[in-house]
């Protein structure tokens, strides 16, 4: 196959003609693959992305040091849901269940990541953390959707549907959809589970040239969880939401084992605040915790990464002695459909700048041999889902208990490690242990000794001292457990299902 002159000229104009270096060594199938991949890239758009990413504009007319621009979330935009007995929390929950019962709330899952850091070669959602039930993250989340629908129906008398939109990546789409097929969608109606794929972007070197992974393949990477907005628009998901009567969405990351799907308290809080955009946060455990904080910067809301602020700012306290910037981001958000339609527009999307991750990216040398570099040699560009906060006209932030709602699964298991299968198991079992204790039940270990949730805390950092799990199909967040456990002493392993 001859090189198309128009294509060759266009590549030369954009200083990317090296992509055709090995053209004459490719068979027709490989040439067709490379041609298709090149034609799928808007080189003018990519050029703009790369220029802005590698030479970002000065923020708000100031230098990159944003410490002086940071302000805490104002009290009127901030809520607290750390006490389930609080009357505000009860009111928000009732409002949220009403919304769910009318089918107005959908959940959007960001599930593009492989389990590489977990030491597996399949999507994170398929991971089994070692619970008594052996349930995967996907199954736990699916059952929490069913439980939320059931709870809303019990409270209102109306059966509403929570549609689950799952954004995969090129690497996870087929395995994820096959996994759901194999497990009969975990009891969900398959028509209410919608898969769509995020896009990828070429990796580039520091001379802004696209990197070849193979002679006929371009090195690409997913465009980050902030690629959600382009994917929602280009795959027709927004139209699907509107057709189904969805008015707002709960957006979250796949790796949080404690996530409350379509959390009625969060939904009700955001609705009461008339928020177009909302974020759940947890208090930072200490000033130097490696977590981004939600705050106002130069009059707009955003997440400021821990690496972007000084030690002085990180340790700054209020007059009452509390951390001034303590609202830790957990990638758990609320967006109205109208807000999504606005931020997914091409104009707003172009206003979201890519973040640069400098990486060691395998490349081809002049002979066509693959080279694995010893040092960073290029960049991957991605957007973050929270980058749209700055477009919010009515922003709201809800503080929740970390022990109830946030335990990310990111790393391979290790005795002293964090954010791994052991810590995820521990967090879920401790939550379920506390729910059973609050309902009047007790749990004994194999020696017949009663172990309380407080006893378990003394063994944090080890395996949980008893085996305990409550199926989401039994209870969404503790309701209904008293009739099963009140006054009873249960012997580990305890699995209420």
Res 483 pLDDT > 70: yes
pLDDT of residue 380: 92
Is there a single domain that holds both residue 108 and residue 220?
yes
**pLDDT over 70 (residue 112):** yes
pLDDT at 421 over 50: yes
Crossing angle between the packed helical segments 173-182 and 137-156, to the nearest 10 degrees: 60
- Which DSSP string do the residues of 281-349 spell out, in sequence order? EEE-SSTT-S--EEEEETTEEEEEPGGGS-HHHHT-B-TTSSBSS-EEEEEEEEEEHHHHHHHTSHHHH
Residue 235 sits in a domain whose CATH number is 3.90.550.10
| Residue 388 shares a structural domain with residue 432 | no
Residue 5 pLDDT > 80: no
DSSP one-letter string for 61-88: GS-S--GGGEEPPPGGGEEE-S-TTSHH
Q: Does some domain include residue 438?
A: yes
Q: What is the mean pLDDT of residues 419-430?
A: 95
Same domain? For 294 and 383 the reply is yes
Higher per-residue pLDDT: 4 or 196: 196
Domain count, the chain: 2
The tens digit of pLDDT for each residue in 299-327 reads 999 999 888 889 999 999 998 899 999 99
Distances (CA, A) of 174 to 23, 108, 169: 30, 18, 9
Contact between 37 and 214 under an 8 Å Cβ cutoff? The reply is no
Which residues sit opposite 60 in a β-bridge? none
Q: Are residues 88 and 70 in the same domain?
A: yes
**Last residue in a domain, options 352, 387, 410:** 410
Q: In CATH, what number is assigned to the domain containing residue 441?
A: 2.10.10.100
Residues 341 and 430 occupy one common structural domain: no
pLDDT bracket for residue 63 (50, 70, 90): very low
> Closest Cα partner for 472 from 423, 412, 428?
428
Residue 140 domain-assigned (yes or no)? yes
Residues 168 and 198 in one domain: yes
Domain boundary among 379, 410, 441: 410
> Is residue 77 domain-resident?
yes
Q: Does 145 map to a domain?
A: yes
Q: Are residues 190 and 319 in the same domain?
A: yes
pLDDT computed for residue 307 by the predictor: 86
157: in domain: yes
**Is the Cα torsion angle 237, 242, 246, 250 positive or negative in sign?**
positive
Across the chain, mean pLDDT equals 93
Is-contact 325 314, C-beta < 8 A? yes
Domain that holds residue 492: 418-497
What is the spatial distance between Cα 113 and Cα 410, in angstroms, rounded to a whole number?
10
Question: How buried is residue 223: exposed, middle or buried, by Cβ count under 10 Å (0-12/13-18/19+)?
Answer: buried
179: nearest Cα among 135, 222, 245 = 135
Q: What is the average pLDDT across 134-161? A: 98
406 shares a domain with 291: yes
Say if residue 70 is in the same domain as residue 206: yes
Residue 454 DSSP class: H
The span from the CA of 277 to the CA of 301, in Å, is 10
Same domain, 463 and 379: no
Q: Mark whether 250 and 366 lie in a shared domain.
A: yes
User: Is residue 383 assigned to a domain?
Assistant: yes
Give residue 57's pLDDT. Answer: 53
Which strand (E) or helix (H) includes residue 493?
none
Q: Which of 410, 433, 464 is the last residue of a domain?
A: 410
Q: Is residue 99 part of a domain?
A: yes
Phi, psi torsion values for 87, nearest 5 degrees = -65, -35
Query: Would 91 be classed as within a structural domain?
Result: yes
Give yes or no: residues 287 and 364 share one domain.
yes
pLDDT value of position 134: 97
**Is the pLDDT at 418 greater than 60, yes or no?**
yes
- CA 196 and chain centroid, separation: 15
């Amino acid at each position: 196959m001859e090189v198309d002159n128009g294509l060759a000229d266009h590549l030369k104009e954009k200083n990317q003609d090296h992509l055709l270096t090995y053209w004459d060594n490719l068979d027709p199938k490989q040439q067709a693959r490379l041609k298709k991949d090149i034609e799928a890239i808007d080189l003018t758009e990519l050029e703009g992305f790369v220029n802005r990413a590698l030479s970002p504009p000065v923020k708000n007319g100031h230098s990159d040091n944003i410490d002086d621009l940071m302000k805490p979330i104002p009290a009127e935009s901030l809520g607290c849901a750390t006490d389930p007995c609080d009357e505000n929390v009860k009111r928000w929950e009732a409002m949220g269940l009403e919304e769910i019962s009318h089918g107005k709330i959908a959940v959007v899952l960001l599930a593009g990541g492989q389990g590489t850091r977990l030491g597996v070669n399949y999507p994170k959602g398929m991971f089994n953390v070692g619970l008594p039930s052996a349930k995967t993250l996907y199954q736990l989340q699916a059952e929490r959707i069913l439980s939320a629908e059931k709870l809303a129906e019990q409270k209102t008398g109306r059966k509403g549907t929570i549609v689950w939109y799952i954004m995969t990546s090129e690497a996870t789409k087929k395995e994820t959809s096959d996994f759901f097929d194999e497990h009969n969608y975990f009891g969900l109606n398959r028509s209410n589970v919608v898969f769509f794929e995020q896009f990828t972007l070429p990796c580039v070197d520091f001379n802004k040239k696209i990197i070849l992974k193979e002679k006929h393949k371009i090195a690409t990477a997913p465009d980050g969880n902030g690629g959600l907005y382009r994917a929602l628009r280009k795959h027709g998901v927004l139209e699907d939401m509107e057709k189904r009567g969805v008015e707002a969405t709960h957006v979250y990351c796949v790796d949080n084992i404690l996530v409350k799907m379509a959390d009625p308290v969060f939904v009700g809080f955001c609705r009461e605040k008339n928020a177009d955009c909302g974020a759940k946060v947890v208090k930072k455990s200490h000033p130097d915790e490696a977590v981004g904080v939600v705050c106002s910067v130069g009059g707009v809301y955003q997440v400021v990464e821990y690496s972007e602020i000084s030690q002085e700012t990180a340790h700054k306290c209020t007059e009452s002695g509390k951390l001034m910037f303590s609202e830790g981001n957990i990638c758990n958000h609320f967006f109205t459909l109208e807000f999504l339609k606005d931020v997914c527009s091409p104009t707003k999307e172009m206003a979201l700048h890519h973040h640069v991750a400098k990486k060691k990216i395998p490349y081809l040398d002049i002979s066509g041999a693959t080279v694995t570099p010893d040092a960073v040699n290029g960049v991957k560009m991605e957007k973050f889902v929270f980058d749209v906060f700055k477009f919010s006209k009515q922003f709201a932030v809800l503080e929740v208990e970390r022990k109830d709602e946030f335990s990310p699964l990111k790393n391979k298991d290790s005795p002293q490690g964090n954010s791994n299968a052991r810590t995820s198991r521990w967090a879920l079992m401790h939550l379920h242990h506390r729910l059973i204790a609050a309902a009047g039940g007790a749990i004994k270990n194999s020696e017949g000794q009663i172990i309380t949730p407080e006893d378990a805390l003394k063994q944090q950092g080890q395996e949980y001292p008893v085996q305990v799990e409550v199926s989401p199909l039994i209870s969404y967040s503790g309701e209904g457990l008293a009739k099963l456990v009140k006054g009873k002493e249960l012997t580990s392993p305890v699995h209420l299902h």
